[in-house]
């Protein structure tokens, strides 16, 4: 009786026996530059050598990975699939090399942590102190971004964990735990508080001010737009779109009609400068909770587990103080 061949098993065998990391690096470089000439210059090889290497990679995968267009070399659907995994493998290799380098330098390892701008200072301090006050010391890399950007970094294996807002999108293997609730408040220039807080909260009146909002298609922008819509008001066209606390503070300091929505505890930290202040209105809703993120494959890692316990304990203490 003839043996039934499994094409997927045959391809897996070809990848295990023939595929080399330099070929994955080549495919990633082609995707970045989209021209073989630029790839050849980066890799310090001749263009014919790059062309030959691409053909070898396509032969291994059994598919055409790029096609020539007026925009240069563009990945085919098979190329997109290969690049998705190639970039993850290369990111894992880069992370491994840095961990080994840190261990060789006498450190206890390396952890890559993502943070949103609205993580309270006390929570940030707790996380960094936990990581840095170790013997031997841990090497730490931090990256700031929106929750969507941090989740993308986790999925791409560019981050090990993150602290951000709760995420309602679809990300394979993502694990998140809500650790801290934050109340929202309206924040304005300190000199404008008396003028802008006359009367009850009126969202129609507020919408006419100069708004500072997060960029479009971010979780917080969607939340704020829903608040205006729920109040029967068209969401305002913002004067500034940013998640940078420094940028928000600067504009609030100089623009008398500028307003934004931030977490009350973050605004309390901003108020210490005397330039910004919260309007005396209480919202009937909470911000999406601050959450700890990692991947399923990393949640049992000793350093990730230890950090999650530390920030969760700090968040519990902060919540009790605020209550």
Residue 173 counted as domain residue = yes
Query: Averaged over 165-193, what is the pLDDT?
Result: 91
pLDDT tens digits, 40-77: 888 888 888 888 888 988 888 888 999 989 888 999 99
Residue 50 counted as domain residue = yes
pLDDT of 83: 86
- Residues 118 and 187: their CA atoms lie apart, in Å, by 14
* Domain co-membership, 177 together with 192: no
Residue 2 counted as domain residue = no
* Domain co-membership, 177 together with 188: no
* Domain co-membership, 196 together with 267: yes
Residue 270 counted as domain residue = yes
* Domain total in the chain: 3
* Domain co-membership, 11 together with 82: yes
Residue 96 counted as domain residue = no
pLDDT of 106: 55
Residue 140 contacts residue 111 (beta carbons within 8 Å): yes
Helix, strand or coil for residue 217? Answer: coil
Helix axes 77-104, 21-33, angle to 10 degrees: 120
Per-residue confidence band for 276, with pLDDT thresholds at 50, 70 and 90: very high
* Domain co-membership, 172 together with 313: yes
What is the number of alpha carbons within 13 Å of residue 291 lying toward its C-beta? 19
Q: What is the CATH number of the domain that holds 41?
A: 1.10.10.10
- Residues 145 and 153: their CA atoms lie apart, in Å, by 10
* Max mean pLDDT range (28-42, 160-174, 187-201): 187-201
Query: Of 86, 117, 152, which residue constitutes the final position of a domain?
Result: 86
* Domain co-membership, 60 together with 191: no
Residue 179 contacts residue 291 (beta carbons within 8 Å): yes
Q: Which helix (H) or strand (E) holds 95?
A: helix 77-104
Query: Of 53, 86, 119, which residue constitutes the final position of a domain?
Result: 86
Distances (CA, A) of 142 to 159, 175, 255, 296: 9, 19, 31, 20
Residue 283 counted as domain residue = no
Q: Which helix (H) or strand (E) holds 194?
A: helix 193-196
The string of DSSP codes covering 97-158 is HHHHHHHHTT-S-EEEEEE-TTS-HHHHHHHHHHHHS-SSPPEEEEEE--HHHHHHHHHTTS
What's this model's pTM, rounded to 2 decimal places?
0.68
Residue 275 contacts residue 149 (beta carbons within 8 Å): no
pLDDT of 104: 61
Query: Averaged over 280-284, what is the pLDDT?
Result: 91
**Domain range for 17:** 7-86
Which of 160, 152, 145 is CA-nearest to residue 98?
160
pLDDT tens digits, 139-165: 888 999 989 899 999 988 889 999 998
What is the number of alpha carbons within 13 Å of residue 219 lying toward its C-beta? 20
Which of 202, 182, 216, 219 is CA-nearest to residue 259?
202
Query: Averaged over 232-259, what is the pLDDT?
Result: 94
pLDDT of 131: 87
């Amino acid at each position: 009786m003839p043996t039934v061949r499994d094409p997927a098993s045959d391809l897996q065998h070809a990848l295990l026996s023939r595929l080399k990391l330099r070929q994955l690096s080549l495919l990633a470089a082609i995707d970045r530059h989209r021209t073989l000439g630029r790839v050849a210059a980066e890799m310090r090889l001749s263009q014919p050598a790059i062309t030959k290497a691409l053909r070898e990679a396509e032969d291994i995968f059994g598919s055409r990975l790029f096609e020539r267009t007026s925009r240069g070399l563009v990945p085919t659907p098979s190329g997109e699939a290969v690049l998705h995994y190639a970039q993850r493998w290369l990111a894992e290799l880069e992370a491994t090399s840095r961990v080994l380098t840190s261990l060789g330098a006498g450190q206890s390892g390396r952890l890559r942590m993502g943070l949103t701008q609205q993580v309270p200072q006390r929570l940030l301090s707790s996380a960094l102190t936990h990581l840095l006050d170790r013997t031997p010391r841990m090497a730490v890399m931090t990256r700031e971004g929106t929750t969507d950007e941090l989740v993308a970094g986790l999925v791409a294996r560019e981050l090990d964990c993150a602290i951000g807002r709760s995420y309602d999108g679809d990300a394979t293997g993502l694990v998140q735990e809500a650790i801290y609730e934050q109340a929202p408040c309206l924040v304005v220039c300190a000199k404008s508080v008396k003028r802008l807080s006359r009367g009850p909260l009126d969202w129609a009146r507020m919408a006419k001010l100069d708004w500072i909002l997060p960029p479009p298609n971010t979780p917080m922008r969607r939340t704020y737009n829903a608040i205006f819509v729920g109040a029967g008001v068209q969401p305002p066209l913002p004067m500034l779109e940013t998640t940078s606390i420094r940028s928000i503070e600067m504009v609030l300091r100089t623009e008398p009609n500028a307003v934004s929505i931030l977490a009350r505890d973050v605004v309390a930290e901003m108020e210490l400068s005397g330039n910004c202040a919260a309007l005396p209105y209480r919202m009937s809703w909470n911000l999406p909770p601050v959450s700890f993120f990692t991947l399923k494959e990393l949640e049992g890692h000793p350093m990730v587990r230890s950090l999650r316990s530390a920030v969760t304990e700090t968040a519990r203490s902060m919540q009790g103080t605020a209550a």
